[in-house]
Structure 1
Amino acid sequence: MPEADTHTLQDDLELLVSAALKGGEIALSYFGNSPKNWTKEGDSPVSVADIEVDLFLSSTLREARPQYGWLSEETTDDLVRKEYETVFIVDPIDGTRAFLNGRDEWCLSLAVVTNGRPTVGVIYCPIREELYTAVCGAGSHLNRQKISVSDKQSVPGSYIAGPVSFLEKEGVKREQIRFSPYLGSLAYRFALVACGKLDAGLARARARDWDLAAADLIISEAGGQLVDLSGSTLCYNKTKTNHPGLVASSAKLFKRLQGISVED
């Protein structure tokens, strides 16, 4: 049986931050250098940079916390993680297509999840030099400065990022919503909601645990919420790692967005 956890949340935060910064250095060594890449299941790109960062994070984090389970986009999921109360949930490079295309919004997403909910979250965007962090009960921070979600309460004029299919809806057009330019990283999209640069972020029904766990806590600790279209809180480290359509925003704005589906 896995050992009992004797580490504090602050200990875990320091571990994740250190790993994210070093992992970012590894990714940057490949950025702009046309790293070898290929297409995996689901027509999703993966590169040698993703794999090397994943191997580094796996060895570093699992050696430091052998009593934690492991779930990563780039590690084969054997469901052994289900035996653990606490797990790392990691995306070594969220936004690989953006990374390969020389865009700057790709990031590393790292979380500690206990009993299905994140307790520590880190999102690191190396090119933009933005480090988002959160610890359960201690607020969210961007480069050590406390952040909060937007106080926008009405849909008209809201600044939102989401799938093109949503943005083209007639109901959406009538609301005069302002749309963010395309963002190739879902985790980073939600981080921008946490710091108030976006009023809301939307996702289709295909996001996975590793896209969401860190962002979920960062948004929550910033005073917002990441929920499904019914308003239900997400649960992680289940057998299936996929989630339905999602909305990240303040609770008040969510109630006004709820009638606009992102499922199409």
Structure 2
Amino acid sequence: MSSRTSIEPTPAGIDDHTLAHQLATDAGRLLLDVRRELADAEPRELKDAGDRRSQEFLATALARLRPDDAILSEEAVDDLTRLAAPRVWIIDPLDGTREFSEPGRSDWAVHVALWERGELVAGAVALPAQGITPATPQVGLGPQDSDQPLRVAVSRTRPPELAGTVCRELGGWLVQMGSAGAKAMAVVQGKADIYVHAGGQYEWDSAAPVAVARAAGLHTSRIDGTPLRYNQPDPHLPDLIICRPEHARAVLAITANRA
């Protein structure tokens, strides 16, 4: 079934930041259409259709607009020739498939990031059901509410013990939500203060959220404080911290000892 969304062709001369934003946004609009078209389908059918349609759209667009760049995607076979490529797009066509398949939930995302010669240089996280796509190069940081305890974003289905430890030791409270992108953007938006994950992720789970978080001035690192590195031979990148910079020292004092 074809999408009803009308997506205008992206100009070939568009810069990388704008391209990441537009591709993530357009993939998100397509996914909203998939959600409407398959509203009565079984959750597995909806999840599979969302993953497939978004992957097809993003892969086709990148092949047309950035034919010399490599791609690392959750929904495609990993072509290790990317390791010799100077530029690699790291994408998650649908992050938070469980939430995507649940009517009314908005905590799912599309991740589009560009790695170039060792660094994340552009990124966008579309939150289609919220109608926003935070993206590099400039991202506004939401205000912090200093009158309430620290809010620690955590998975609603697989909350890591470490996040609970951070929450207890800092006197905070847990904010449960789905997609990694949604949790990271909650910190950017000022809806959470800290996002700690441990226990299993891959590069496509965090590349775009980390690029956007950095553009907003947030702290990003592994839980032991070392840098997050991308386009590695093994894309497994199991843990991360994204938080407001004023909380980084306190969070790392807890997490580094448990890395």
* Alignment TM class, shorter chain as reference: 0.7 to 0.9
> Aligned to 1:148, which of 130, 141, 145?
141
1:17 aligns with 2:21: yes
Alignment check: 8 A CA contact 1:122 1:131 kept: yes
Is the 2:160–2:199 contact (alpha carbons within 8 Å) kept by the matching residues of 1?
A: no
Please state how far the C-alpha of 1:14 moved relative to its aligned partner.
Answer: 2.0
In terms of fraction of residues, the more helix-rich structure is 2
Instruction: Considering fraction of residues, name the structure with more strand.
Output: 1
**Could you tell me how far 1:197 is from its partner in structure 2?**
2.1
Is 1:107 the counterpart of 2:109? The answer is yes
Map of 1:186 onto structure 2: 180
Shift of 1:184: 0.9
Write out aligned runs for 1:72-151 (5 A): 72-102=73-103, 103-135=105-137, 139-140=138-139, 147-148=140-141
2:222–2:239 Cα contact (<8 Å) kept: yes
CA–CA distance in structure 1, aligned partners of residues 215 and 164 of structure 2: 31
Q: How does 1:183-262 map to 2 (within 5 A)?
A: 183-261=177-255
Q: Which TM-score applies when normalising by structure 1? A: 0.81
- Letter of the aligned partner of 2:174 in structure 1? F
Given the superposition, is the C-alpha separation of residues 82 and 168 from structure 1 closer, same or farther in structure 2, using an over 3 Å criterion? Answer: closer
Give 5+ residue unaligned stretches, structure 1: 1-6, 40-44, 141-146
Match of 2:4 in 1: none
User: Following the alignment from structure 1 to structure 2, what is the Cα–Cα distance between the partners of residues 125 and 160?
Assistant: 19
The answer as to whether partners of 1:193 and 1:248 remain within 8 angstroms in 2 is yes
**1:15-94 residue pairs with structure 2 within 5 A?**
15-31=19-35, 33-35=39-41, 38=44, 46-94=47-95
Q: Which one-letter code corresponds to 2:162 in the other structure?
A: F
Q: Deviations over 1:66-107 (max 9, x none)?
A: 111001100111212112110111001110011112221111
Q: What is the CA–CA distance in structure 2 between the aligned matches of 1:185 and 1:245, rounded to whole Å?
A: 15
Correspondence for 1:158 among 150, 165, 181:
150
Correspondence for 1:143: none
For residues 218 and 92 of structure 1, what CA distance do their matches in structure 2 show?
A: 17
Determine the C-alpha separation between the residues in 1 that align with 2:55 and 2:251: 36
Q: Distance in 2 between matches of 1:213 and 1:148?
A: 18
Structure-2 change in CA distance of 1:164 and 1:158 (3 Å): same
Q: CA deviation at 1:175?
A: 3.3
Alpha carbons of structure 1 residues 119 and 48: separation in structure 2 relative to 1, 3 Å: same
Alpha-carbon distance, 1:165 to partner: 2.4
Deviations 1:27-71 (A, max 9, x none): 1122152556659xxxxx951211111011001012100111001
Q: Deviations over 1:185-220 (max 9, x none)?
A: 001111121232211111113111111111111111
Letter in 1 for 2:130: R
Q: 1:174–1:15: structure 2 CA closer, same or farther, 3 Å change rule? A: closer
Q: What is the aligned-residue RMSD (CA, Å)?
A: 2.8
Change in Cα spacing, 1:23 to 1:36, as seen in structure 2 (3 Å) is farther
Matched residue SS, 2:134: strand
In structure 2, the CA distance between the partners of 1:250 and 1:54, relative to structure 1 (3 Å rule), is same
**Count of residues in Structure 1 that have an aligned counterpart in Structure 2:** 240
Q: Distance in 1 between matches of 2:28 and 2:245?
A: 33
Q: Which runs of 5+ in 2 are unaligned?
A: 1-11
User: Residue deviations 1:126-162, cap 9 Å, x none?
Assistant: 1111110112xxx32xxxxxx1266689xx9211112
- Distance, in Å, in 2 between the alignment partners of 1:223 and 1:67 is 31
